[in-house]
Structure formats: structure tokens, C-alpha cells
Chain A
Amino acid sequence: MITVGLFIPCYVDQFYPGAAIATLKLLKKLGVNVVYPAGQTCCGQPMANSGYEHLTGGCNHLFIDNFSGFDYIVSPSGSCVLHLKEHLHAQGQEDKAAHIRNRIYELTEFLTDVLKVKKLNARFPHKVGVHQSCHGQRGLMLSQMSELVAQPFSKPMQLLNMVEDLEVISLNRKDECCGFGGTFCVAEEAVSAKMGKDRVNDHLMNGAEYITGADMSCLMHMEGILRRQNSNVKVIHIAEILNAEPERIPVTTD
């Protein structure tokens, strides 16, 4: 049996436990032994993307202490996974850091590439818009990017196609950034909010009931805008859809 260390990013832990619970349940359902190390906090990206990568040493050591020795480390956040893959280094523990960098997966790519999931017991009878979070898409290459001349593929779509009665809507701009961008969301408030509004509008115009994605941070940003507009449209992490069993009503985050 594969043992996976579950990494739940700080803001998901604090604000979106539903996404984390769904990730945990989904992995267990697929026969994985999941361990959630209690001492975990954050990947360090908020500091690093603000130019303070040199302050992430403590975070890195803590991460290594919590996640060494697992077969894989899985997280429901493409952005955090990308950051760790690219920047997890620690003096005196470089072999352990390298092990983690090579063994850490975003949830959907873990399902398609490692577990090679072909079938899911899930039903979600709604119109869903898929938000391609940039770090997952362009960084981890979870799906093909509209800029490149290459064959299309999409790991999240591969999984969503296994969900009964789910209708994926098409968007006018299929992989434009939502404008969250970590601290960008407050440091460049005007552009960030405008990008978020535009992204949300694309989903609304095309009839989405839910906006889903593999990164809760983008969804948090878009949720903030949807709720300000008093919209009925909800955001939902992809794990919650993939874990939505036919006989049960899905757990939503609010």
C-alpha cells in the first residue's frame, strides 16, 4: 500500500476544510494510506513570491521534518506544489529536500499519473466551469496551454469526465489568469480585482453553476467577487466534485 503524506496549505486548512476533507476521503477511497503530519504549516510561497525567499528557511526545514519518508506527498494546491518543486532547499538536508521535490504531486496529477485512475464513483449534476490555475497549468503542466502549438490534454478534465452528469461549460478565454497572484491580490488591488471580475464574468456568461479548479487560492479570490455580486454561483474545489458520491449531496465549502 502506498503511503502518502497529505499537505494541506495554510489557507485551505484555515478557510476551506471541506476541500481538504474531500482530498483525504478521495485518496483513502482509492486505496491509499494517508497520513496528515500535524506539525505542518505552509510551503513558504507567500514570502518567496514577495521577494523574501531568504526568509523561507524555517518553513523549509519544518516542511522537511514533516514530510520526509513518505512514498509521495500530495496536496490539493497546484501553486504550493509548484513552489516546493522549484524552491524547496535546506542546508544539511538537501537529499531529503530532493526526495520531496521529486515525490510531491498536486492531487489531480497524482490521480492520473501515479494511481492511474480510470473510474470514479462520483456524480455531480451541474454545469461547471473549470478554472485553469496558472501554476498548475503552466508550471506543473496539468493541461495544455493555449499559447503553445501542441497536442491538447488536461489531467483535471480527464478526471471530471469520469463524473456522472457533470457538464463542463466552455469559456471565451480558456486559460486566462484570475488575478489572485498571492500578495499581488492586495499589493495590486485594482488590477487583481478587475482580473477576478473578468474571469468570473466569463464563467457567468457561459452558464456556470459552479467554478472549480485544482487551486483553492484562485477559487477563494473568485468566491470573494461572486459573493460581493450576490451571485448564486459557487466555487468548489475539484476534490469535492471527484469525491461527490452519487447517493450523497456534495459537501460545499460554505
Chain B
Amino acid sequence: MNSRAQILSRIKQNQPGYRPLPDDIQQYAPAGQQEAQAVNKAAIEQFKTVLIAIGGAVADVYSYEEISAFIATHFKDHKRIISTFSQLSGSIERDWQENDPHSFENLDLAIIEAHFGVGENAALWITESLMQQRVVPFICQQLAVVVRARRIYPTMHEAYKEIGATDYGFGAFIAGPSKTADIEQSLVLGAHGPKNMTVFLLHD
């Protein structure tokens, strides 16, 4: 008998009687549009507070022009900038999507989009289709993410409801810059990944 069969047979013998799953925890089920807007507004506020607390930065914007302008001012010293947005102007590298992942090693700034964000922990859900290359949001020195303000949900329960059964090869919740506190619990931003993270909250 191979290991697989052995393990399965031992489990069969040893596992206890069936225990049912608990009911789902559903938190926010807003009754009407007004209520939904209030929930969204509260979630945005919480998102901002938490993001700043975990070392990120946030900018409220209303157009891609504003984002372009923000980048031109705040990231002007950055040499290598890539983005998945065709709407952005400035010195942004194009046609990088097919490059070898290792070629991003000297990436200064990546500007990508998130599907949505979560108020309780400032996490942004980004799948492979929005990263183009999986390594991009991790290898860059600085990360900027654009998310629609109306797509900030209160908790992880709403987040997974949004994700549902969508298909992706890779997806990640990203909350703030890369960090470590392994040396005497001193928090240091920029462990291996981005040293900073800016979130553009794009309002309609």
C-alpha cells in the first residue's frame, strides 16, 4: 500500500463522526441603496484609518489625470515606473507584460488596480489579471494601487462574497507595505517587498 492509501485508510479509521459546518457569518446586508451608501462611507473611513496605521498612504482622487499629476509630483525621482493603466500619462514603461519576472528587480514603482478593498483591515484584493505579472506588486520598491471608492466593503465576509467563485490563477489581499518586526519587535517597513504603499481611492 502506498503512502496515500495508508494515510487515507488511517484517517478513515480514526476520524470522528461527522460534524456539521456552522452557519455563515453575514454581517452587512443593507436594506436599500441609502443604507448601502452609508455602509460604504463608513467602510471608506475605516479603510483610510487602518491603512495609515499599517504604514500606507491614501489619496482621494476623482480622475486618472489627478493620479498622473500625483505621480508626477510625488514620484518624480523614480526611474523605472510600470503600470497596468493605459489612462496614465508620464514616463511610464509600456509593453512589459511579457518580460521575465526577474527583469522587474530594478522596478521603482508599480501602479496597478485592485478589484476592491476591505475597511476592517485596509486589504486590497488583486488577482493575476490585474497584476499582469505575479511578482510585480511584491518586487517593486514602491507600490501604488487604484481602487474604486464605492468598492470598499466593511469586512472579509463581504470580500469573499464579492470574490465568490471567480477564477484566478493567483490572487492576493495586500494590506500596506511589506514589513517585519522580527528584530526585537521593532516595526520596520520594507522587508522584502515595497517600502511604501499608496492607495488611490477613485471616487465616481
The answer to whether A and B touch in the complex, with CB atoms under 8 Å apart, is: no
